[in-house]
Amino acid sequence: MASVEWRRIPTVLYPQEVLDKAFRRASKQSDLVEDPDKYHRVRKQMARMVQAASDTMAETLLSWIDKWPSLNAQSSFDQALVDAAVGADEFRKNLGAIQWAAERVRIISGESQSKMMKYRNIEAFHAERRHAYGRMSSIIEQIGENILWLGEARNILRQLPSIDASEPCVVVAGAPNVGKSALITVLSSGEPEVAAYPFTTKRLHVGHFEHRRRKYQMVDTPGLLDRPMAERNQIEMQAIAALENVGDVILFLIDCADDSGMSLDKQLHLMDEVKELLAERPMIVAYSKSDLLDEDDSDNIRISSITGEGVEELRSQLIDIIDADAIIDPLELPDDWHRQNESIEPIGSPEEIAQRREKAQMHAPKWEREMRKRK
């Protein structure tokens, strides 16, 4: 399931602009009519104006519906985003009203054309054209609020992060200022995208890198997985559930250089909470800002976004742990399994494959473990 390119949602005209555009085109169409006989000329002109105005309005409205993402086709992550950002019900309701108006305008045009066929004088053609214009204008007025809503919603949706649910995703968690954004930047092949997340007032970073033609996405979680869980409200819990849905692995960063402002104890406690909350996902813990730390010979993963220490090793680990999931037989998986299109040829020696398989079982989501038990 590809992600929504929120930035591609087209601009929405104001209601009056929709009318202006339609009537302007209609006048141009009328100018094109040539007929030496005045009676026939006027009838054709008026019919063509009504037709062109209705076509332009309906096409404009329908093009919005076409280019807006259809909610039901989205991943649960994107649905949760839309719901929190603009309201999923509102989204459906307003697009529904636009659809209704497009249909109405077409019906009005049809009715008007057939009336004109029956009229026998020039004045009646003009009057019918004015009447049809009035009816169409009132339809657009009726959905004025819906059009305005769409325009505002577009501006909000444009800032949402685009995460492709069919590609791997690393959720980067940890206390504020431990270096999450900095790490995403050094791991990314380009500049990370800065996006709005409707569940928090903070901006989040979405970066990615490619490995063997797969796109590994990374997203940080400001305001969500960075403070004690007791402070969570309903909507933030919804956000976390959505994150769990989209994240294949949680990377938890700990700053033990004492540079972040949260004590090590508190950070470890936070880590336990996040682990419990996202229990279905494997977690990698890394110690950040190693350039500020003394040498140590423990097995901890240590990284520095400034010197680059440990960064490539961490990248390999992330790929490894995600790949471990990928080699599970896709025939056993439900339809919406997010790697349905991926190659399933296991990579590496038989020992490596066995090792990864074991790891995968260990980290497999709960539903999957249940499924295996039942077999």
Ligand X SMILES: Nc1nc2c(ncn2[C@@H]2O[C@H](COP(=O)(O)OP(=O)(O)O)[C@@H](O)[C@H]2O)c(=O)[nH]1
Could you say whether residue 156 binds ligand X (CB under 6 A)? no
Report what 51 binds from ligand X, Mg ion, none; CB cut-off 5-8 Å by kind.
Answer: none
Residue with tokens 């769990």: 244
Could you say whether residue 304 binds ligand X (CB under 6 A)? yes
Q: Which of 176, 223, 346, 365 contacts ligand X by CB under 6 A?
A: 176
Could you say whether residue 181 binds Mg ion (CB under 5 A)? yes
Task: Quote the least distance from Cβ 215 to Mg ion, whole Å.
Answer: 21
Could you say whether residue 267 binds ligand X (CB under 6 A)? no
CB within 8 A of 29, min separation 6: which ones? 48, 49, 51, 52
Name the region of 87 (left: φ>0; alpha: ψ -120 to 50; beta: rest).
left
- Closest CB to Mg ion belongs to which residue? 181
Could you say whether residue 288 binds Mg ion (CB under 5 A)? no
Please work out, in degrees rounded to the nearest 5, the angle formed at the alpha carbon of residue 350 by the alpha carbons of 349 and 351.
Answer: 90
Q: Which of 291, 315, 346, 359 contacts ligand X by CB under 6 A?
A: 291
Report what 305 binds from ligand X, Mg ion, none; CB cut-off 5-8 Å by kind.
Answer: ligand X
Please work out, in degrees rounded to the nearest 5, the angle formed at the alpha carbon of residue 21 by the alpha carbons of 18 and 23.
Answer: 105
Classify strands 301-302 and 249-254 as parallel, antiparallel or unpaired. unpaired
Task: Quote the least distance from Cβ 162 to ligand X, whole Å.
Answer: 20
Nearest residue to 156 via CA among 198, 118, 191 = 198
Could you say whether residue 29 binds ligand X (CB under 6 A)? no
Q: Which of 194, 292, 354, 362 contacts ligand X by CB under 6 A?
A: 292
Exposed e or buried b per residue across 322-339, where buried means at least 16 C-beta atoms within 10 angstroms of its C-beta? bbbbbbbeeeeeeeeebb
Q: Which two tokens stand for residue 134?
A: 């009035």
Q: Give the binding site for Mg ion (CB under 5 A).
A: 180-181
Applying CB under 6 A, the residues found at the interface with ligand X are 174, 176-182, 220, 288-289, 291-292, 304-306
